Amino acid sequence: MSKVLIIGCGGVANVAIRKCCQCDDLFTDICIASRTKSKCDAVKADLEGKTKTRITTAQVDADDASQVAALIREYQPDLVMNIALPYQDLAIMDACLECGVNYLDTANYEPEDLSDPAWRAQYEKRCKEEGFSAYFDYSYQWAYKEKFEKAGLTALLGTGFDPGVTQAYCAYAQKHLFDEIDTIDILDCNGGDHGYPFATNFNPEVNLREVSAPGSYWENGHWVEIPAMSIKREYDFDQVGHKDMYLLHHEEIESLAKNIPGVKRIRFFMTFGQSYLTHMKCLENVGMLSTEPVEFEGHKIVPIQFLKALLPDPASLGPRTVGKTNIGCIFTGKKDGKEKTAYIYNVCDHQECYKEVGSQAISYTTGVPAMVGAMMLLTGKWNKPGVYTVEEFDPDPYMDALNKWGLPWQIDENPALVD
Ligand code: NDP
């Protein structure tokens, strides 16, 4: 029996909510709260009669910690699942601390307003000291560690697929497959086709900020930064086939570099088709990816937000997307004195996801681990006060739950390596 407050009602939250409702013995009560309440009401109406979970809805602006705190006090949840946007992470963590409730999210903090001078000063210092220039990093949320410890509360960061499941794979490899892990290549392949010349599979603003930024990887104790999309490899993915993939900066590299002892290199690759890259370059060249407001006929417009309004809503891609995703981690290292390699991965079919929960596989592969992370906290299987990423907990119950709840994984002990 548990009460959960879910903040956000977009593509990923829709899946997480539906998965919670499949597991209605544990998720007995959920409150769906978001900026646009009508979306929450529509999901509630759709689920009525299909689950024992009691669903309520609420309107909240999660940029405002006091509104979130008021809602928590009223609803009294055991856990807050933040499935809104990374911009709201800190406000929701503040509210959880104020009210004494556990927290989880699926993406690490980044500010909406990149021109804020206070944030900018801290960002520029970090770029210089750490050597990577992505707008997001864990420092803002790791700074809450002591406060959560003192309050006896747990904050679980980034329980989506990547970050999230990829870190559980790393913890599993470390616990069961290797004595020493030398290298980790995280591969994120989406072989799906939605039929549009250009669309993003999750929130367009967050997605385009991420993929248009310089790439970086961790090697021999420091970051190596490269121009965006300048390292390309081809890989033959099980059940998807040959795809071009590009090295990106990604948040889990930062925590894995701290938590996998002795690891020498960590890279992250994501597949992109030529049409996506050409559109993105063109939009970038004409300034449509800019986060700086521009004056247009007496109105202030943020170009990337205007672009978001023009692009297909990721939540609407479900019925038209066909094909599969293949996401996982290739490890090299040693076991019992011998060299060893392994690829732990999941293959997910867009149409199967659509049949089950009405979403494409990118929302599915993120929403299921959000529910599984919640399950770990609510059942007490993962229980330590502080602020943690997924690889800092015992991977076994999480990996078992992935198998049970829709993201079964497999291990290839002789994978092709990425050069
Ligand atoms: P969507 O844009 O589809 O949904 C975001 C939801 O948050 C919307 O319901 C939106 O409300 C709501 N929201 C936005 N701002 C506020 C606010 N101030 N107060 C309350 N609610 C708000 O995003 P996705 O579902 O695609 O992504 C959700 C999260 O998942 C993101 O953080 C994303 O980065 C993360 N993600 C993580 C992945 C992983 O593997 N770890 C992969 C993919 C995504 P409204 O309807 O009013 O706009």
| Each residue's pLDDT tens digit, 271-319 | 998 889 999 999 999 999 998 899 999 999 999 999 999 999 888 898 9
Q: Is 40 in the pocket of ligand 1 (CB under 6 A)?
A: no
Q: Is 91 in the pocket of ligand 1 (CB under 6 A)?
A: no
Ligand 1 atom at minimal distance to the Cα of residue 105: 32
The CA distance from 374 to 141, in Å, is 18
Q: pTM of the entire structure?
A: 0.96
Is the peptide bond prior to 163 cis by the omega test (within 30 degrees of 0)?
yes
Distance of CA 82 from the midpoint of ligand 1 (Å): 9
- Greater pLDDT, 125 or 210: 125
pLDDT at 113 over 90: no
Diameter over CA atoms, the chain: 69
Q: What does the buried/exposed string (b/e) look like for 340-357 if buried means 16 or more CB atoms within 10 Å of the residue's CB?
A: bbbbbbbbbbbbebbeeb
Q: Is 8 in the pocket of ligand 1 (CB under 6 A)?
A: yes
3-class SS of residue 206? helix
The CA distance from 303 to 290, in Å, is 6
Distance of CA 122 from the midpoint of ligand 1 (Å): 25
pLDDT at 202: 82
**End-to-end alpha-carbon separation of the chain, Å?**
49
